[in-house]
Each structure stands twice: as C-alpha cells, then as structure tokens.
Amino acid sequence: MRKIEIITRPYKLEDIKKALTDAGVKGMTVSEVKGFGRQRGHKEIYRGAEYQVDFVPKIKIELVIDAALVPAVLKAVEGAARTGEVGDGKIFITPVEDVVRIRTGETGKDAI
C-alpha cells in the first residue's frame, strides 16, 4: 500500500478528482493548505501599498491505495494537474505499513 499526497492549485480539484475516480480510486481526503515553493509567493497591491504574500493557497489531496495502482494514479494526476507553469505542485509517495478500518476492524488492503 502507498499513501499519495498531492499539493496543487485549488481550481484543479475537480479535474483531479475525476481523473482519480476514473483511475479506480475510491476515496480521498482534501484539505485547503497554504505554502510556497520555488515561486516564493507573490506581491499584491492593496490601497496603493505593495506587500508580499508569502503563502499561496493550495489544496492537498491524500489517498491510500494499493501499490499496483500507483502508476495509473500518477499518470492521471499529472495529466489533470499540469499547466506547465511554476506552481503546478508536487506529488509525494510514501509506503503504508498497515490500515485499520475502525468500524469493522478490517486491516490491510481490505480496509482501503
């Protein structure tokens, strides 16, 4: 099993959700987050004064999937999220040792 964390632009959420569903993903968790990478935020002007916005709004999508699904999920997310511009985001993949479904007590792949 693998945990996939996707951090990307908020307006790409619906495209990514559809691509993940089409790739066979049955569930996900979505959070609104703020941060910066290479783009280092941006400058805005408010009432004539310029100020630096360090943290850019992003979304974080988390899912735990069977390891066999990882290539299909990566391809789906990259296709749905890529704009070719700085700030498209990152995908993190980490191994998951075990999962327990609290309601039934199921563990491992059965709990996903």
Token pair, residue 58, equals 């992003």
Query: What is the structure's pLDDT at 42?
Result: 64
Q: What is the pLDDT of residues 23-55, one digit of tens each?
A: 999 999 999 998 877 766 666 677 777 777 778
Nearest of 36, 76, 82, 28 to residue 55 by alpha carbon? 36
Mean of the per-residue pLDDT values for the chain?
90
- What does the DSSP assignment read for 47-67? TTEEEEE--EEEEEEEEEE-G
Query: What is the structure's pLDDT at 6?
Result: 97
What are the residue ranges in the chain where pLDDT is below 70? 39-44
Is CATH 3.30.70.120 correct for 2-110?
yes
Global pTM value: 0.84
Instruction: Please report, for the chain, the start and end positions of each structural domain, with discontinuous segments joined by +.
Output: 2-110
**Rounded distance between C-alpha atoms, residue 25 and residue 94, angstroms:** 17
How many residues are listed for the chain in this entry? 112
Query: What is the structure's pLDDT at 41?
Result: 63
